[in-house]
Amino acid sequence: MTRRAEFKLGLFVVLQFMFLLSLCSSEEFLPQISPDTSPQPFLPFIAPSPMAPYINTTIPKLSGLCSLNFTASESLIQTTSHNCWTVFAPLLANVMCCPQLDAALTIILGKASKETGQLALNRTQSKHCLSDLEQILVGKGASSKLGSICSLHSSNLTASSCPVTDVDQFESAVDTSKLLLACEKVDPVKECCEQACQNAILDAATNITLNASEPLMDNSVRISDCKNIVHRWLATKLDPSQAKETLRGLANCKLNRVCPLVFPHMRHISANCSNELSNQTSCCRAMESYVSHLQKQSLITNLQALDCATSLGTKLQKLNITKNVFTACHISLKDFSLQESGCLLPSLPSDAIFDQDTGISFTCDLNDNIPAPWPSSSQSSASTCKKSALLLSYLAS
């Protein structure tokens, strides 16, 4: 069987994550990590007894002061709680949890505008509504720290600096037919290359900023705030599942453009990998130690792994490490994501799934034994579109 055939038949597999609820921090749940060319499945928790209740949901204490109808978005909220599940929320934050939470808020606010005619809440209501939503999510098993994990504030529910919140005013200022045509059916792959919907959203946001009576020093902030208003209006015109698909697709275009990992200092690598790789053993030991630190940070997508490989390689080259240490030390794309499973998440939007018997599971791209590419000048500036093609070429080789 060729590698391409293996890719078509076995790209996505479900990696089951089963765990017991605890008050411990997420760091305590992580395994001791060491890079391994043949990683074993990552099962950090022992499954609970079939006789014991797996999920301990709680009844949320709501303020009674929020006008949003959370009950009407039960399915959306349930998906969000799974994607932001307790200790896994920090690990899935960048790819799954926070994009889903943002999409859920956008859709719920869009729905509400059908009754109120407003695409934003005032400051008082936003505080009550955000608190209520967090209580509901925690009651369904989500992390209690979503505010800090996803940088979520009550201002996210307001208009912030955008001057337009009224639906009628929005529709008179924007070419809504053009906007809907571009965003009604978004192909998550083509959109990241062609950016048809993203450009239409930018045009709409720019148009409604013209209604502002007071200029800002940095108009890009206002345009960004108005993009949120455009997203909410779009959510009123699409059914919830279609709106979710569109918003998550747009978010993935953005997140796949950059590496989300934080790179600490590289003095140890520099000391052991210079001089034309005179001591490969000590160099590879230093590389493995460094990469094992990166692995603890997050689960990332296959395209993000390409970004991370490029970022790390470029930093090493700036330290005058000219030899391809990725090849010499057998560094693969999977080495940039949480071990020991070597799990790279798909570059397309995906959700975690809860099963009463097996717990939380999500789809991993485990056809990822792909050598990390040593960066060239053409790679470092590659678009998401080109990186997708690059990844496929590695799989085919």
pLDDT in tens, the chain (397 residues): 322 222 222 333 333 433 333 333 443 433 333 333 333 333 333 333 333 334 556 778 899 999 999 999 999 999 999 999 988 899 999 999 999 999 999 999 999 999 999 999 999 999 999 999 999 999 999 999 999 999 999 999 999 999 999 999 999 999 999 999 999 999 988 999 999 999 999 999 999 998 877 777 678 999 999 999 999 999 999 999 999 999 999 999 999 999 999 999 999 999 999 877 788 999 999 999 999 999 889 899 999 999 999 999 999 999 989 899 999 999 999 999 986 556 889 989 999 988 877 788 888 876 557 899 998 865 545 566 766 656 655 554 4
Report CA torsion sign: 106, 257, 32, 44.
Answer: positive
- Render 30-87 in DSSP notation, one character per residue: SPP----SSPPP---SPPPPTTS-S---------S-----SGGGHHHHHHHHHHTBGG
Whole-model pTM? 0.83
For residue 207, give Cα distances in angstroms to 158, 294, 314: 19, 42, 39
What pLDDT is attached to residue 34? 35
Task: Identify the helix (H) or strand (E) that includes residue 128.
Answer: helix 123-139
CA distance 153 to 266: 35
CA distance 394 to 386: 12
CA distance 328 to 303: 22
Per-residue pLDDT reduced to its tens digit, 77-86: 999 999 999 8
Report CA torsion sign: 113, 184, 182, 80.
Answer: positive
For residue 374, give Cα distances in angstroms to 206, 259, 305: 40, 15, 13
| Cβ proximity of 47 and 358 under 8 Å | yes
Q: What are phi and psi of 324, to 5 degrees?
A: -75, 90
